[in-house]
A and B are shown apart, each in its own frame.
Chain A
């Protein structure tokens, strides 16, 4: 085989083209930045690289009731951006035809760092999570086959999938990777707490907040570990089983009695907005939560050992701890225009 000078030229051009394409795409990329001092995210961003188009598609899907069998329920029906993607006012979330579920929809914050999903941790990957509400008879009551069929029949979505993945044929992988690009990028790292930790100019804890932070580290942080404010583990926090729901939590997944009544430790970020609290939404106010941890913990075999001795807080200390918890509110997250209902929804 001979290589002529002409071939050399072609080869050179190809290499230049490859490099220029790389530079061009690099400029367009949305960036996923790990906030300073945070651990590495758990979600594998290499297999599903972040792009503006992928994120926008995921956002479109998140707000579109097309995912439910009668096009009445979207993800945002139970996960509202203005409440940190929780379902305010509803202890238990309601789905299709007004049916009521058995758990309180959690806030969607910093999900790329989650090691598991759902209150019982039954789901192990951000991509697989939405399969649950979509196929649940009491949430969206649809099937993967139906959803994929509906999306493939939609000119709008075929176009959006082509823009995001260079292929207009919708399959489950593209669908859930797009959704993961949206949900995995709902990042809250701009609360007052964060500013104080970053030692930003003119931002300091008030004396109540500072005292509250010390109390927090002493009493709460072994489970609600900074900076994510959860250790990602499962604990029985002494709530006592609701006799109507009879929810065994983690044990439903593992079938192990040692996991009875354990639920995933939720993040405390944006706790101000994500009421009601606990897996069954039994507490409406933060003050009730503090009351539970100080005087309401019920003993049982699987109770978290840390809660064996009651937490003792004076009424002043409660006020201080509350003041600290409110520093975890991130208004920039709540009002982030990129997270809200897409404006050009009818294209």
Chain B
């Protein structure tokens, strides 16, 4: 019984002391959907892609996950899965909590959902299959979706549709990346924010320039989905 008592006192002490010291802060991350740096307006504004075709974007959604900040006190968010949807403003801003007070220079992240979560059955929150970023017939999350239309597409409604997913080799869609975030200071008092671009133009650029008149439907894991994941890998950018 004495041991148990001591244990409770210890817990209480830890909780109190951590609160008193306030050695952690929060970070609000704001995502700005863009096309080549210009504000992305879904379905209404036309944009010119790398191939020189005029296109409209109708849907732009992706999983932004396993966020880590590197600096003097490295930090990784737990259960870090954020479904970003250009159409739904509430998904474009979220808060990282309990970040150690320090200076950070780099953000590392994944686009997509790691293989572990792809095999865990039915999950909740942003990973709930009800969110529509899930394949039932070939279990797994859709890492990213880009849908739109263009006169050059000789398809029904001139539509193009890219649903990129798959967690098994050789057609794995998960992409890791890291970007410099300047000198990001996390303090316990200030409102810390990080502004990021999600640039849909990257889907069409490099390494493979996409001609939507030829490639306009990718809806299962294959060579083309891998190519597209390589293309959009660098769509997250630091807004200086």
Contact = CB atoms under 8 A, between A and B. Distances in A.
Interface in B117-139: 118-124, 128-130, 134, 136-139
Interface in A34-48: 44, 47-48
Contacts of A127: 121-122
B1 A8 contact: yes
A132 B138 CA distance: 9
Contacts of A132: 136-137
9 contacts: A11-B1, A122-B138, A125-B139, A127-B121, A128-B121, A173-B123, A175-B122, A176-B121, A255-B171
Interface residues of B, number: 27
Interface of B: 1, 4-5, 9, 12, 118-124, 128-130, 134, 136-140, 168, 171, 220-223
Contact of A148 (B1, B130, B137, B223): B130
A123 B136 contact: yes
A319 interface: no
A124 B122 contact: no
A254 B9 CA distance: 55
A253 interface: yes
A66 interface: no
Contact of A128 (B130, B139, B171, B221): B139
B199 to A, nearest CB: 29
B137 A172 contact: no
Contact of A173 (B118, B128, B171): B128
Contacts of A44: 121
A176 B12 contact: no
Contact of B222 (A48, A173, A255): A255
A132 B140 CA distance: 12
Interface of A: 1, 3, 8, 11-12, 44, 47-48, 118, 122-128, 131-132, 135, 144-145, 148, 171-173, 175-177, 180, 252-255
A165 B133 CA distance: 26
B177 to A, nearest CB: 25
A172 B136 contact: no
B133 to A, nearest CB: 12
A44 B116 CA distance: 13
Contacts of B134: 131
B128 A171 contact: yes
Contacts of A125: 119-122, 139
A131 B119 CA distance: 14
Given A47-B120, A131-B134, A144-B129, 12 more contacts: A1-B9, A11-B4, A48-B121, A124-B140, A128-B129, A128-B139, A132-B136, A172-B122, A172-B124, A172-B129, A173-B121, A176-B122
Nearest to B225: A255
Contact of A131 (B1, B4, B129): B129
Contacts of A177: 121-122
Contacts of A180: 121
A288 B130 CA distance: 43
A128 B128 CA distance: 11
Contacts of B168: 254
Contacts of A144: 129-130
Contacts of B119: 124-125
